Structure 1
Amino acid sequence: MRLLTNSKTIEILDPSELWRPEPAFANKPIKQFRDYSIDENNIVKERVRITYENMHTYQTVDFVKEKRKQWLAFSHFKATVREALEKLNDLVDESDPDVDIPNIVHAFQTAERIRQDYPDMDWFHLTGLIHDLGKVMAFYDEPQWAVVGDTFVVGCQWSEDIVYREHSFAKNADGKNPKYNTKYGIYQPHCGLDKVTMSWGHDEYLYWVLKHNKSTLPQEALSMIRYHSFYPWHNSNNYAHLESPEDVEMKKWVKLFNTYDLYTKSSNVPDIENLWPYYQTLIDKYVPGVLEW
């Protein structure tokens, strides 16, 4: 596969190569990832289902507008990237059926696998490390259903490929508003994803934190961060009617990133302390200093 970045064409791995259940890459068969089947006797599956049911009940257009007003004032706290990452030592993602370990471990697992495959793309390594950093909202009285999990567009028809879609939106107030229940809803054809309103979560929050604090990460990295949980788009090819040509190009990068985000989850814990010096150099290069969150 070839992708264009910074006016250069580079060779990258075909994402399908990463889907092979090789022991060196994944500790379980690929088909066992993202298992959202319902089992009331399984504690993890019930935790995941309830998280999504709350998300799909309460994430409305008005809710998202309020959260954007609240969080995009960047007035909650100040911290370096490392300080924010270290908070994730105490966070287990309640929407994730594949891992039950602190989120900081997943961050280093993702970054190190990317580093192995793309040793010269340091911005890609850092993207892997910080992609879930917006989950720090969970430490500031935000329920996990407004922080974690797959994202979707609000203000138009909900995609059929959203997890638990068949029943989880039954109590969502936007379902009773006819202007939100058409294919385009409140949007224009091919307006571009930057013109739509996403459900509120860590992806959107971190994207704006990086923009606000003038990160020098390239657009490819920012798109990976902003849309890596937007599975109905990058995994199921929904919402193509809202895409711009730029979104089509960025989707290639998001899909590539997704293979590292998803299939590196395991119980193998990297030596985080020994890895910090390298990643601190990348933080200092692309997202230095104390940030406003």
Structure 2
Amino acid sequence: MTAFNNSELSPLSSLEQWEDDLLIRYPEPEHKAKEAYRNYDSPERDTVREFYRLNHTYQTYDFVRAKEREFLSFDKKELPVWGAMEFLNTLVDDSDPDTDLDQLQHLLQTAEAIRADGHPDWFVLTGFLHDMGKVLCLFGEPQWAVVGDTFPVGCKHSDKIVYPEFFVNNPDSHDERYNTKYGVYDPNCGLRNVHMSWGHDEYLYNITKDYLPEPALYMIRYHSFYAQHREEAYDHLMDDHDRAMFNWVRKFNPYDLYSKSPKPPVVSELKPYYEDLIAKYLPATIRL
């Protein structure tokens, strides 16, 4: 595997910078049309550009398969879910000027917005868990292998993916095994047969896949797959079951993007409810 220097490991000032960029690309519907925001040449976006240059260069089919082998053995840590959330909190970056909330508070805000709208408790739990896979950063993973818009590897990269021009540096773009419309896949083979770029979505899906309802698993696994659930660029790989399940992904996405608030939730008041909810669906400890 390639050895990366510090600037290649952490091109963003914080992981939240990627999420802030999503709000620019996909603002709330009542706000300005996204086309008015898509200025990718402004200087303040240089770190985001660099993040995606690295992401699109190194997220190859072989890289993803290697990360699956490395991390899906789950031999790094074993913790209660709440302990994993507190572990995740060590990712808080004091240099981030846009939020004083730690990761746990952001996840509680997402989950509480879902609960306030009367959704099933497993949906609420999904909101609470959905970013837990970011603990990958605490195991030394580069930011661009933890967050970022996800996409299939092993087939042609869509021009609907953000900054598609950077895929010219990806070796798979020049490999006839991987650079055709279907690549290593069959038409409409179903996303269960497709390898996605590596990150917190795929990691958490594999942690929770034996415990949560299928709609929850689709939300977790594909909530960063904007090229499909916003741009519909990979319909040729999806089957009818995927299309039905993506209604849940689209239902979840606004809670992920638009539930942030500067007012922090009172963690001590909410903790008993979420510990009971965790116990209902998940084992006492999880392996990371």
- TM > 0.5: yes
Counterpart check, 1:195 vs 2:190:
no
Q: Displacement, 1:171?
A: 1.3
For residue 237 of structure 1, what is the aligned residue in structure 2? 232
Matches of 2:193 and 2:260, distance apart in 1 = 32
For 1:226 and 1:33, locate their aligned partners in 2 and report how far apart those are by CA, in whole Å: 27
Residue 260 (1) aligns with residue 259 (2): no
* Whole-angstrom distance in 1 between the partners of 2:36 and 2:219: 19
Q: Is the 8 A contact 1:206 1:226 kept in 2?
A: yes
Q: C-alpha distance in 2, partners of 1:39/1:138?
A: 28
How many angstroms apart in 2 are the aligned matches of 1:59 and 1:196?
A: 14
Q: Structure 1 residue 125: deviation in Å?
A: 0.5
% of aligned pairs identical? 49
User: Considering only aligned residues, what root-mean-square deviation do their CA atoms show, in Å?
Assistant: 2.5
Q: Which amino acid aligns with 2:62?
A: D
Q: Report the CA distance shift for 1:100/1:196 in structure 2 as closer, same or farther (over 3 A).
A: farther
Question: TM-score, normalization: structure 2?
Answer: 0.83
Amino acid aligned to 1:200 = W
Q: Is the 8 A contact 2:201 2:224 kept in 1?
A: yes
Partner of 2:8: none
Alignment-derived partner of residue 269 in structure 1: 264
Which one of 232, 256, 280 corresponds to residue 285 of structure 1?
A: 280
Q: Provide the residue aligned with 1:11 in structure 2.
A: none
1:37 is aligned, of 27, 33, 39, to 39
Equivalent in the alignment of 1:109? 109
Q: For 1:53-68, list aligned pairs within 5 A.
A: 53-68=53-68
Quote the Cα distance in structure 2 between the aligned partners of 1:269 and 1:91.
Answer: 17
Instruction: Please name the residue that 1:46 is paired with.
Output: 46
Q: 1:49 to 1:100 in 2, by over 3 A?
A: farther
Tell me the amino acid that sits aligned with residue 203 of structure 2: Y
Q: CA deviation at 1:259?
A: 1.1
Question: Matched residue of 1:153: which SS?
Answer: coil
Q: Which amino acid aligns with 1:123?
A: W
Aligned residues: 260
2:166 equivalent to 1:164: no
Q: Secondary structure, in 3 states, of the residue corresponding to 1:178?
A: coil
Distance 1:225 1:33, change over 3 A: farther
Is the 2:101–2:264 Cα contact (8 Å) retained in structure 1? no
Q: Summarize deviations over 1:11-56 as a string: whole Å, max 9, x none.
A: xxxxxxx9554xxxxxxx46579966335642xx333222221111
Q: Which amino acid aligns with 2:263?
A: N
CA contact (8 A) 1:150 1:229 kept: yes
1:249-279 Cα deviation digits (max 9, x unpaired): 1000000001111111343322222211111
Aligned twin of 2:207: 209
Structure 2 gap ranges (5+): 1-26
Q: For residues 32 and 249 of structure 2, what CA distance do their matches in structure 1 show?
A: 19
Q: Distance in 2 between matches of 1:100 and 1:32?
A: 26
TM-score by length of 1: 0.82
Q: Secondary structure at the match of 1:163?
A: coil
| Alignment deviations for residues 209-267 of structure 1 (CA, whole Å, 9 cap, x no partner) | 113xx32x210101100110111111111111111111011000000001111111343
